Amino acid sequence: MTVRVGVIGVGMIGQDHIRRLTRVLSGACVVAVIDADLERARTVAEDLPGVRVHETGQALIADDEVDAVVVTSWGPTHEEYVLAGIGAGKQVFCEKPLATTREACERIIDAEVAVGRRMVMVGFMRRYDTAYRAMKAAVTSGEIGAPLLMYAAHRNPSVPSHFTSDMIINDSVVHDIDVARWMLDDELAAVTVLKPRRNRKAAPGFADPLLVLLEMAGGVLVTVEASVNASYGYDIRGEVVGEDGTVELGESAGAIVKREGRYSGRVPADWRERFVRAFDVEFQEWLDAVAAGGTTGPSAWDGYAATVATDAGLEALRTGQRTAVSMRERPDLYKQQ
Ligand SMILES: NC(=O)c1ccc[n+]([C@@H]2O[C@H](COP(=O)([O-])OP(=O)(O)OC[C@H]3O[C@@H](n4cnc5c(N)ncnc54)[C@H](O)[C@@H]3O)[C@@H](O)[C@H]2O)c1
C-alpha cells in the first residue's frame, strides 16, 4: 500500500521530510501541502507533480485523498492540527514538540484515549539513530548491570542570533530528555539547571553553556551539557554507567584516518548531517506502521512528558532552583509500548 501523505508547514524540516518521503523512502507519496505562507506552499508544490495546495490545514486533513498527516508547522500550531487529524481518523506524524503547553498535550492525550488507539507519533528521531539503538540494546540487555548514571553532551557549533537560553532547553535539551526517558525506561522526577562560566561567543544576556541535571524517578542521575557556541562542529555524546560496566554512544561520522602518528575523522557540521539516517529510519517505520493500520514510536505520552520536563527545565533555568516534574497518571493506552 502507498500511504498518501499531506504535509502541514513546508518550511525547513517540512521540505526535508517531503524530500525523504518522495525520493528516499518507499511506500509513500505526498499528495497535498499547506503552509501559512501560501506562496511558499505553491513553490514547494511546483517540484511535486500532482500535489494539491490547500488553503488551510483543516482542508488538507479533510481531503479524502490524504491518508495520513505530517505536521511540521511551528510548535504553537501543532495542537490544532494533531487534534483535527485524530478527529478525522487519520494517523499523524508530528514534529516535536507535540504541543507547547502541558494542557495542550493533555487535550491530545484525552482525544487519543477517547478514540481508544494510538493515532500520533512524535518526531524524536534520536530513537532511530543506529548508535543510540546500540546503546539502548546494551542497557536493556543487562550487560552493563543496573544503570546508575548517564552523561550526555549536546554541542552545536553556533546558532542564529534569535536563539536564546530558553531555546537551549526547548530545542536542544528536549532531545536529551526524550533519550533519557527512553534509554532508562523511566520518568523524570526533577530538573536543575546550572550556568557554568559563560562562553564569550554567546550573545549578551545569553547563558551558554548550560549544565542540566535530570533526576530520574528510579534514582538514576543524568547530566546534559548543552552548548550552542562550540565552534568545532555538532557533537552529540552519551554514556551510561551501570553497576557492571559502561556503554558509550558510538561516533557515527564514518571513517577514522590514522596517519603519521595521528588519527582524524569528521565531526558532523550540524544535526541534519548527524541524524540524516535516523530521520529516514524514523519515517520508514512510521510509514510501514501506517500502511499496516496503526502507528509506532514516540507517543503522545512521550510528547507530553517532554513538554512537562522542558517546562520544569525553563523554570529551573529562571529560578536557579531544583524543580520537581509532576505528571498526570499514565493512561493504559500508553502502558503497552
Ligand atoms: N526533530 C528535530 O530535530 C527537529 C529539527 C528541526 C525542526 N523541528 C521542528 O519542526 C517544526 C518546524 O520547524 P522548522 O525549522 O521547519 O521551522 P520553519 O520556520 O522553517 O518552518 C515552519 C513552517 O510552518 C509554517 N507555518 C507557521 N504557522 C503555520 C500554520 N498555522 N499553519 C501552517 N503552516 C504554518 C511557516 O510558514 C513555515 O513555513 C518545529 O516544531 C520544530 O521544533 C524538529
Which residue has the CA at smallest separation from atom 30 of ligand 1? 36
Cα of 115 from ligand 1 centre, angstroms: 27
Report the separation in Å between the CA atom of 154 and the middle of ligand 1, taken as the mean of its atom positions: 21
Work out whether strand 246-248 and strand 188-194 pair parallel, antiparallel, or are unpaired: unpaired
d(CA 167, CA 164): 5
Instruction: Evaluate whether 85 touches 61 at the Cβ level (below 8 Å).
Output: yes
Nearest atom of ligand 1 to the alpha carbon of 78: 41
Q: What is the residue type of 12?
A: M
Fold designation for 127-274+305-334: Dihydrodipicolinate Reductase; domain 2 (3.30.360)
Nearest alpha carbon, ligand 1 atom 7? 13
Whether 8 lines ligand 1, by a CB cut-off of 6 Å, is yes
Cα(37) to centroid(ligand 1), Å:
12
In whole angstroms, give the CA distance from residue 194 to residue 192.
7
Of 55, 72, 169, best ligand 1 pocket probe by most atoms within 8 Å of the beta carbon: 72
Q: Rounded to whole angstroms, how far apart are CA atoms 153 and 239?
A: 9
Q: CB within 8 A of 146, min separation 6: which ones?
A: 242, 243
Query: How far apart are alpha carbons 226 and 236 in whole angstroms?
Result: 10
Measured between alpha carbons, how far is 24 from 41 in angstroms, rounded to an integer? Answer: 21
Q: How far is the CA of 274 from the centre of ligand 1 (A)?
A: 19
Going by CA atoms, what residue is nearest to atom 5 of ligand 1?
13
pLDDT tens digits, one per residue of 3-39 = 999 999 999 999 999 999 999 999 999 999 999 999 9
10 lines ligand 1 (CB under 6 A): yes
Other beta carbons within 10 Å of 18:
23
Look-up of cell digits 478514540: 115
Ligand 1 site, residue 38, Cβ cutoff 6 A = no
- The greatest distance separating any two alpha carbons of the chain, rounded to the nearest whole angstrom, comes to 64
pLDDT tens, the chain, 337 aa long = 899 999 999 999 999 999 999 999 999 999 999 999 999 999 999 999 999 999 999 999 999 999 999 999 999 999 999 999 999 999 999 999 999 999 999 999 999 999 999 999 999 999 999 999 999 999 999 999 999 999 999 999 999 988 999 999 999 999 999 999 999 999 999 999 999 999 999 988 899 999 999 999 999 999 999 999 999 999 999 999 999 999 999 976 678 889 999 988 899 999 999 999 999 999 999 999 999 999 999 999 999 999 999 999 999 999 999 999 999 999 999 996 5
Half-sphere exposure of 5 (CA within 13 A, CB side): 33
Which phi and psi (to 5°) does residue 322 adopt?
Answer: -65, 130
pLDDT for res 337: 55
**Spatial distance between the Cα atoms of 335 and 286, rounded to a whole number of angstroms:** 19
Q: Which residue has the cell 502541558?
A: 102
| For the chain, domain boundaries | 3-124+277-297, 127-274+305-334
Q: How far is the CA of 14 from the centre of ligand 1 (A)?
A: 7
Residues 6+ apart with CB under 8 A from 257: 263, 264, 265
Determine the CATH number of domain 3-124+277-297. 3.40.50.720
Judge contact between 58 and 35, C-beta under 8 A: no
Q: Matching CATH topology for 3-124+277-297 and 127-274+305-334?
A: no
Per-residue model confidence (pLDDT) at position 251:
77
The residue to which cell 499496516 is assigned: 292
H-only helix segments in 47-184: 57-62, 78-87, 102-115, 130-141, 165-167, 174-184
Are 93 and 59 in contact by the 8 Å Cβ rule? The answer is: no
Annotate 156-192 with DSSP letters as a single string. -S---TT--HHHIIIIIIHHHHHHHHHHHT--EEEEE
